[in-house]
Amino acid sequence: MNPLLDHLNAPQLAAVTLPPVHALILAGAGSGKTRVLTTRIAWLISTGQVAPPGILAVTFTNKAAREMQTRLAGMLPINIRGMWIGTFHGLCNRLLRAHHRDAGLPQLFQILDSADQQSSVKRLLKSLNVDDEKFPPRELCHFINAQKEQGLRAAAVEAWDDWARKRVELYQAYEAQCQREGVVDFAELLLRSYELLERNEPLRRHYQERFRHVLVDEFQDTNKLQYRWLKLLAGGGANLFCVGDDDQSIYAFRGADVGNMADFEREFKVTNLIRLEQNYRSHGNILDAANAIIKNNPSRLGKNLWTEAGSGEPIRIYESYSDGDEARWIVEEVKALQRDGHTRAEIALLYRSNAQSRALEHALFNAGLPYRVYGGLRFFERAEIKHALAYLRLIANSDDDTAFARVVNFPARGIGARSLENLQDAAKAAGSSLHAAIPRVGGAGGVKLAGFAQLIVSLRDAAHLPLPELVDHVVELSGLHSHYQNEKEGQERLANLDELINAAASFVAEEGTPDPDGEITGQYGNDLSSFLAHASLEAGEHQAGEGDDALQLMTVHSAKGLEFNMVFISGLEDGLFPHENSLLEDKGLEEERRLMYVAVTRARQRLYLSFAQTRMLHGQTRYNLPSRFLDEVPGELVKWLTPRAGKGGFAVPSAPTYSGGTPRRSEPSSGSGFRIGQSVMHAKFGLGVIVNAEGGGTDARVQVNFGNAGMKWLALSVAKLEAA
């Protein structure tokens, strides 16, 4: 037997040794897809079915491309560098460099990264005297890139009103500017490459005849244009070997279209569909949970992960009273794992959205545990948080030049570089701060600077407000909220700003001192300077250095492709995970379920799932239902770390519970035996959580969050409501 085929299981062997035909390989999480791809390439070359230049292998990340090249170099005695292995963007760049004249580009054309593209759009708007508040550069970049990823030039984009027509005009002007300057953005690389091959038949035929085998990694993440590009190259009879997992398609927001897999199977009449279901990563209970969750998605090609590693430990589920309690519990579990000999680097803390990291970071900071935020910034280092803190710093001290420079023109208020230079000169001449020098600057720039100074005065007038309300007020009055609300992907930044309000509320609760009337004041309660110092300390401490043993914090999206011995998935509540935006549409919920599947399959040995009865949102306590995904995990696979009652796979507590520390004050009762935070059952609306109560006796009524059925006010004298 060929030594290349050693250590392959039966489905892997079948995939690697397929005859030259179109094939779709459904590769489950941890099933060895990279091994199959690289061995397939090595097999084709070593058996003489194709020469190295006849291979085109497409990946989604440079890291994956390098790994493939490294593995091939260890399998074959050939020069790997000559082979076409790379990302879509990398391969399109290579094609355009080789044929720059045919593509209408200068030989040394430059590539704009996302920051460069945004700067280019800003220059364009300025040159055309277009209001960048009405057409924010970041949002305009998203619009342009989205059109290109659909294969649409400006002339082909439909516009139904004046605003949409203006965006199309700006897209057209941007195209002309890029062509004039000899630059291309990332989306342009693929579109220009596709257009080149489509219109130039001799060139297209050359590459169709050259690449006899086209292999694609992570096929479920391809967008419409990428799939069209692949079809174009395979149109001359090449064999398409596509490896992917429709159950791990989680990038619809980037344009990924999981439907490409079914389209490929139909359009290319694929008869070779091979499932790689043996998992080499996780224990059986983890895989059984993942299988049980994902089977609830109806439109999938279908597979069932299994392992020879045994069942392993049960999945641990923990219900906490609040998000803060949840974070403290996770810290205690991490400490216990360390005492058992596990390193911090083996442990991952996953969450659905970036804003959730704040409570976890706070608990880790207090415990002195070093951590690293993977694929993102620590909470207090995120741009929107630093902007809000800069406004707060100016309230505390208007002479803070660093804070002043950060937000004097953010959000944009027409204060240009020339005005700032004049201000700096005036401040230097007077030996004063930038803020103090504003009256010394004349002209239109001086008027706009004076307007900013007045904004700071208005913000300072609200300094008497309780700290969370002050933060909320600053976010609104500064224009940060409306700025991010107008961004296409601004919802995550708004969620982080909401979390900053929660951070202020938590700071007051933990550090404040109640006065005789119960109001929290004193040394810390409403002391803005103390909160700013607290934020600075949390931003600067416990940042793990490169190579240090540190906990890994990340969103589930960032975790794709990674694996850890111990995994915590926190915040498993309806509205959070699955996200509330997904609950209104089937496809959105299906993608959230795929995201949960990805999260679960990151764990090798032990998996923790946790949720909270209450969670702070915009400084207010919100009562949530447990995530429906918890109920999709078979009961025999789990071990509850907190008492559970009722039916189904999730806890339905009869009253708020608290684990560890000082017992919490009971939530107010409705006066009828029910309590806010209590889970209840209704014959028509199902399971819900009481979130409000009013009245008494025969007039008593409660407000209940029934999840999909919505919020309902129920009269207790009539409603047949039972404790769950």
Distance of CA 98 to the CA centre of its chain: 36
Q: Could you tell me the maximum CA-CA distance found in the chain, to the nearest angstrom?
A: 87
Residue 162 annotated as catalytic: no
Catalytic residue among 217, 257, 277, 325: 217
Neighbours of 446 (CB within 10 A): 17
Catalytic residue among 149, 188, 218, 472: 218
Residue 34 annotated as catalytic: yes
Residue 328 annotated as catalytic: no
Distance CA(607)–CA(569), nearest Å, equals 8
Distance CA(107)–CA(90), nearest Å, equals 16
Catalytic residue among 300, 602, 615, 675: 602
Distance CA(138)–CA(155), nearest Å, equals 21
Q: Residue 607: phi, psi to the nearest 5?
A: -125, 130
Catalytic residue among 38, 147, 208, 248: 248
Among 590, 573, 506, which Cα is nearest to 351's?
Answer: 573
Residue type, 242: C
CA angle 594, 598, 602 (to 5 degrees): 165
> 372, 552 in Cβ contact below 8 A?
yes
Among 54, 59, 21, which Cα is nearest to 38's?
Answer: 59
Enumerate residues 6+ apart whose C-beta is below 8 A from 80. 52, 69, 72, 73
Residue spans of alpha helices (H) in 82-185: 88-98, 114-127, 137-149, 162-181
CA angle 11, 12, 14 (to 5 degrees): 60
Distance CA(195)–CA(189), nearest Å, equals 10
Catalytic residue among 12, 33, 40, 246: 33
Residue 248 annotated as catalytic: yes
How, if at all, do strands 272-276 and 23-27 pair? parallel
Distance CA(721)–CA(713), nearest Å, equals 12
Residue 594 annotated as catalytic: no
Among 673, 672, 675, 671, which Cα is nearest to 704's?
Answer: 675
Structure tokens of 139?
């949002």
Residues identified as active-site:
33-34, 217-218, 248, 602
